[in-house]
Amino acid sequence: MSVTSQSESGRVLVVDDEVRQLEILKAILEREGFDVETATSAEAAIALLRDTAPSVILTDLKLPGEDGIDLLEEASHAAPQSCVILMTAHGSIDNAVEAMKKGAFDYLTKPLERETVVLAVRRAMEKSRLLSENLALKQQLKDRFSLPNIIGDHGKMQDVFRMVLKVAPSPSTVLIYGESGTGKELIARAIHYNSPRASRPFHAINCAAIPEPLLESELFGYEKGAFTGAISRKIGLFEQASGSTLFLDEVADMELATQAKLLRTLQEREIRRVGGSRSIPVDVRIIAATNKDLIVLMREGRFREDLYYRLNVVTILLPPLRERTTDIPRLVDHFIARHAQAAGKDVRGIEDAALSVLFKYRWPGNVRQIESAIERAVLMVDGSKITVQDLPQEIRQETPAGALALELPDSGISFEALERELLQQALRKAGNISRAARLLGMTRRTFQYRLEKFNIPRPVSEEAEPDQAAEETDLESESARQAEPL
């Protein structure tokens, strides 16, 4: 895994109100290969923290306005990977000791010596690298990325999991297709956290949510003064994610100009910040996702063909929930457990009637929608089991009585096999012919005729219920039944 020479040596933010001192420190550290940002006040430094993500902050303790301690405190939230070195004037050792107690990494007493500064920064840099790795590991534990936490017993999901494990070890680009809410981001994370890049944080950006030209700045960063308002350098996502994975969500919504820049990055494996002239090498694994048909967009000239082929190295297709309804019960249990715990309620399951409503619904919002339905139901339920009444109204309403949760597969289906299956299921459910016939809305005679047609044996219980059998063969009732509409 190659990382840019820049992040190898690391970023230092130097803060001092004495401009001359600042210039000297900058020169010393740059000569050592560090990437140096400067600020003349704590306020200015704080404003830089998030965008520059420094590994080391070298700051004067005494500053006009907020001081070095304030900056130290702010950095622990805004740049938790950073290590702070304080510079104090001779005689203010007490302050320095207090600063160490508050989590400063080191302190240096003025006047400074070149070697001491460089050594302290190098040590802090190493510590910051360990901190980053630790933070990434913690993040990794928090994320629900591991395959056992992703529900999918259906064959199509098992195919997806096999694919995830196959592509995870390599740095190749992956394109994930799927309707909204099918779990595209979850699968992208699963790939990342099963890859050799797992100890580094997963980076994601939703290309549809950020208007151009902001998207370009977010991805590639910019140099100070690149445009009005670019008051400081910004490190883009490609640089931040170097050595790791970048998830480009809704990639189809990217404008053509940004698509061109993305293509160049994928080909050259380097970026240029907006307004910058230097090429910066990056090593980023790209996972892209879309719910749109890229082939159609390509024909309409809205998606670059060359980019399509670059992204489409490995494709993963996430099936909509209505094509894997057999996964519903486990998904429901999974979400009940998650949300019952969050709500501090003792909810243990769902009533059969409510589950059958969930089976019949079409789930246009897929897994995300069933999760929010269950979250709501957990809040509503009084007892320990979710009832039909606890489900969101639109789900109850959208399910006409008797509607079938049946989807004709693309590969087609044998009508005869389906009929045979329905007859057998009705028999199993009902236990005798009359009730089974009623389940399918047929007369007993029609049902029997079909059983014979398919050579399906009559149930044993039929013989065990002579009274009912007699009643059913009664000529009068039979003729009455024949008058029923089929």
Ligand X SMILES: Nc1ncnc2c1ncn2[C@@H]1O[C@H](COP(=O)(O)OP(=O)(O)OP(=O)(O)O)[C@@H](O)[C@H]1O
Does 182 bind ligand X (CB under 6 A)? Our answer is yes
Q: Which is nearer to ligand X, 196 or 364 (CB)?
A: 364
Q: Binding marks (x or -) toward ligand X, 27..66, rule CB under 6 A?
A: ----------------------------------------
Contact characters 171-190, Mg ion, x per CB under 5 A: --------------x-----
Which letter, b or e, does each residue of 162-177 get, where b requires 16 or more Cβ atoms within 10 Å of its Cβ?
A: ebbeebbeeeebbbbb
Residue with smaller CB distance to ligand X, 69 or 367: 367
CA atoms within 13 A on the CB side of 453: 12
Please select the residue that binds ligand X; options are 180, 199, 448, 468, rule is CB under 6 A.
180
Run of H or E including 211: none
Q: Are 81 and 55 in contact (CB under 8 A)?
A: yes
Decide which of ligand X, Mg ion, none touches 183; Cβ closer than 5 to 8 Å per partner kind.
ligand X
Beta strands in 73-162 (DSSP E): 83-88, 106-109
Q: Is 390 in the site for Mg ion (CB under 5 A)?
A: no
Residues 310-349 that bind ligand X (CB under 6 A): 334
236 binds, among ligand X, Mg ion, none (CB under 5 to 8 A by kind): none
Which pair of tokens denotes residue 32? 């050592």
183 binds ligand X (CB under 6 A): yes
Residue 258's alpha-carbon distances to 165, 180, 262, 298, in angstroms, are 31, 23, 6, 15
Q: E-strand spans in 321-448? A: 349-350, 385-386
The partner in contact with residue 180, picked from Mg ion, ligand X, none with C-beta cut-offs of 5 to 8 angstroms by kind, is ligand X
Give the residue, chosen from 84, 150, 215, 340, that forms a contact with ligand X under the rule CB under 6 A: 150
Q: Which does 186 bind (CB under 5 to 8 A by kind): ligand X, Mg ion, none?
A: ligand X
Residue 181 lies near ligand X (rule: CB under 6 A): yes
Supply the minimum distance, in Å, between the C-beta of residue 317 and ligand X.
12
Encoded tokens for 196: 């050799």
- Which of 152, 201, 319, 320 is in the footprint of ligand X by CB under 6 A? 152
Binding positions for ligand X, 358-377, rule CB under 6 A: 367-368, 371
367: partner contacted, choices Mg ion, ligand X, none (Cβ within 5-8 A by kind): ligand X
User: Helices 42-52 and 68-78 meet at what angle, rounded to 10?
Assistant: 20
Closest contact distance (angstroms) between CB of 262 and ligand X is 19
Q: How far is the CB of 387 from ligand X (least distance, A)?
A: 23
Based on CB atoms, which residue is closest to Mg ion, 318 or 378? Answer: 318
With CB under 6 A as the contact rule, the residue among 10, 54, 68, 178 that binds ligand X is 178
475-482 vs 466-473: helix crossing angle, rounded to 10? 60
| Cα dist from 39 to 43, 171, 293, 398, 470, whole Å | 9, 38, 48, 60, 97
Report how far apart, in Å, the C-alpha atoms of 163 and of each of 5, 168, 179 are. Answer: 33, 8, 19
Token couple for 420: 């045979």
Return residues touching ligand X (CB under 6 A). 144, 150-152, 178, 180-186, 291, 334, 367-368, 371
